[in-house]
Amino acid sequence: MEQVRVRFAPSPTGHLHIGNARTAILNWIFARQAKGSFVLRIEDTDQARSTDESEGSILQDLRWLGLDWDEGPEAGGDFGPYRQSERLEIYQKYAQELLEKGHAYKCYCSQDELEEMRIRALKENRDPKYDGRHRNLSIDEQKAYEASGRIPAIRFLVPERDICFKDLVKEDVTFPAGDIGDFIILRADGMPTYNFAAVIDDALMKITHVIRGDDHLSNTPNQVALYEALKFPLPVFAHIPMILGEDRARLSKRHGAASVDIFAKTGFLADALFNFVSLLSWSSPSGDEILSKQRIIEEFDFSRMSKSAAIFDTTKLRWMNSSYIRDVPAERLTDLCLPYLSSAGYPLPADRQLLEKMVLSVKNSLDVLEDVIAKTEFYFAEEVRPSCSEGYGTLTKETTQKVFWSFIRQADQIGEINVKSFREIMKAVGRETGVLGKDLWMPVRVALAGDLHGPELPLIAEIYGKQKIVALLKKWLVE
């Protein structure tokens, strides 16, 4: 069988959008499953908007997601160059071939004429497509236009027949004859249009499967017609459903983190985002949702892909990310949290083990890494104060005074407080005061952490040590 070759072809005009990241992930999964090649191609023909900075950030985001490419920028390969701006002569060559074979023609229409054509079509309730007025210009007419200073674009002559193709998601797709007008393949400035450049590149790079968002479905008949005119073998198409926000509108910046770099900066783990995005519109036959990359590679199947748009459920993503965070070893998690703690300006302890204990104490409450700032704030606060009126009420109970006095007396009898000794002290306090359950534990929690909920109290106590615990309890004692 022919080796599977897929491609991801971003335009370097900004950050990697989550929709494009999903396309890259599915192409990578399919390539790895088939033991084929994943090609990265940079579509930078929009010279006004394309930047080296954007290209660099896209490559960085792909690497962060754990995606490697077999061919493309920095990797090289036998089918380069892999930037469209370096392939202009190739496009011009094939445009000339289409002209010579009668599959294309020169169009001298001005922008004003094209706009007038569009407006008239809309008024007459017709599709605003090109009306073919320059299809059959004579040589003399062409010379006259050029003498007047007009530089022609090159349009593809769309065949007057249905255009059909098979799709791994949409199945059999047909665009009836007349649905699309003759379209530009080479602009007057010599730059290729998207549809033309993509076909030339995919064919010459021997791409076997074109996997992309279904917002490209309308481009496909144009591309199929070009493949056929150039006698290139047609790839297999797979148009995956769009991603919508929870309001059922197309995912955009207003829905929050629309680009991969924002997810990374917020503290989503790469494996969690990869897992979540790979399951948009697709599911494992097992029904499991937490899946390793290897399982996703093994189980992915286009036959299980929904035809409906995928909903980007941020709540579900945060749940999935929290699950991944809980599996991160304490040392590694501390490394991941350190930039967030440093950015908050906290006076971090020099003792690395102590810092790891702080992070470990809040690990189960982190949805994203940046949550560590708020969750550990009480450790670094100059003064611990109750966060709510209920907390104040807990501290002012008559039984609380008994508990605090008893705790201090018990603490005086031991050297250091750790998880084990703290629990023993609390048992002794309960026996001495007769205060049990919530009335025993909650006041101590509020005095030490300022909240009714949070990390395990014995772990907080071990992190603080006896001196700080006693000082915090004494603050609420009535002499």
C-alpha torsion sign, points 349, 352, 354, 358 = positive
For residue 152, give the 3-state DSSP assignment.
coil
b/e map of 194-222 (b: 16 or more CB within 10 Å)? Answer: bbbbbbbbbbebbbbbbbbbbebbebbbb
Q: Of 253, 316, 420, 474, which is the active-site residue? A: 253
CA–CA separation, 279 and 310 (whole Å): 9
212-to-66, 193, 360, 421, 459 alpha-carbon distances in Å: 19, 18, 41, 59, 49
Q: Of the candidates 263, 285, 265, which has an alpha carbon nearest to the alpha carbon of residue 276?
A: 263
Q: Which uninterrupted H or E stretch holds 237?
A: strand 236-240
Q: Which uninterrupted H or E stretch holds 311?
A: strand 310-311
Q: Cβ(300)–Cβ(282) under 8 Å? A: yes
Letter for the amino acid at 72?
A: G
Letter for the amino acid at 312?
A: F
DSSP string computed for 52-87: HHHHHHHHHHHHHTT---SBBTTTB-TT---BGGG-
384-to-58, 359, 387, 425, 464 alpha-carbon distances in Å: 44, 18, 9, 22, 12
CA–CA separation, 43 and 84 (whole Å): 5
C-alpha torsion sign, points 289, 295, 300, 304 = negative
253 catalytic per annotation: yes
Q: Of the candidates 338, 267, 260, 256, which has an alpha carbon nearest to the alpha carbon of residue 60?
A: 260
Query: Looking up tokens 């350190």, which residue turns up?
Result: 338
Query: Looking up tokens 């599915």, which residue turns up?
Result: 26
Q: Of the candidates 97, 38, 49, 103, which has an alpha carbon nearest to the alpha carbon of residue 72?
A: 38
CA–CA separation, 234 and 3 (whole Å): 15
Measured from the Cβ of residue 57, the count of other Cβ atoms closer than 10 Å reads 18
Q: Which residues are marked as active site?
A: 253
